[in-house]
């Protein structure tokens, strides 16, 4: 009885060693949305690679869901600042004017283009983009801070560990 079990174990081990190791490629890359930056040089969302990015998209800044999400971010922004998180907003309605908040907010002047690129359905969406440029989460619902942090932490750490495992086996 011991011999067949040992042979089975060896066969399974051989299959695991021979199986190609997966790499955690960017599965769902964020669309390239350009906007003017200081100095007139255009930037894209990809220029924030290496930093987590929270993108808020809405019809206008007066939408209740946008205001509720911004309020959620304001309540615990220090927890995002520690991670060097960038928060950006784009609006279908065009230039939003002034958005009053204590959260450092990058306002995308081409908000309608950003809404189209991220396929905004409805009046509001929040998009969590990992430091690798991957869209880790996108929803039309307001997220609480714990959920945002959970997605940011787990998505990136799991992908980073998978990359290390994939690169180390080659």
Burial 109-123 (b: 16+ CB within 10 A, else e): eebbbbbebbebeee
pTM attached to this predicted model: 0.74
- Domains of the chain and any CATH numbers: 52-170 (3.40.30.10)
Residue 123 is classified by DSSP as S
Q: Is the CB of residue 55 less than 8 Å from the CB of residue 86?
A: no
Q: Please give the mean pLDDT across all residues of the chain.
A: 78
pLDDT in tens, 125-135: 999 999 888 89
Which pLDDT belongs to residue 132? 86
Helices (H), the chain: 2-18, 64-75, 77-81, 111-117, 145-168
pLDDT in tens, 79-123: 999 989 999 999 998 777 788 999 999 888 888 999 999 999 999
List 56's β-bridge partners, or say none.
89, 126
């Amino acid at each position: 009885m011991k011999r067949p079990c040992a042979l089975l174990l060896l066969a399974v081990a051989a299959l695991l060693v021979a199986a190609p190791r997966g790499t955690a490629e960017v599965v769902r890359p964020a669309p390239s949305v350009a906007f003017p930056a200081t100095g007139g040089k255009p930037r894209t969302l990809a220029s924030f690679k290496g930093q987590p990015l929270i993108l808020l998209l809405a019809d206008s800044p007066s939408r209740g869901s946008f205001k509720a999400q911004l309020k959620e971010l304001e309540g615990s922004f220090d927890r995002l600042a520690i991670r060097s998180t960038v928060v950006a907003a784009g609006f279908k309605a065009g230039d939003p004017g002034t958005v009053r908040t204590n959260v450092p907010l990058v306002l995308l002047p081409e908000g309608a283009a950003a809404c189209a690129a991220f396929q905004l359905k409805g009046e509001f969406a929040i998009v969590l983009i990992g430091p690798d440029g991957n869209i880790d989460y996108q929803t039309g619902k307001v997220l609480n801070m714990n959920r945002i942090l959970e997605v940011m932490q787990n998505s990136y750490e799991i992908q980073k560990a998978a990359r290390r495992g994939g690169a180390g086996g080659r």
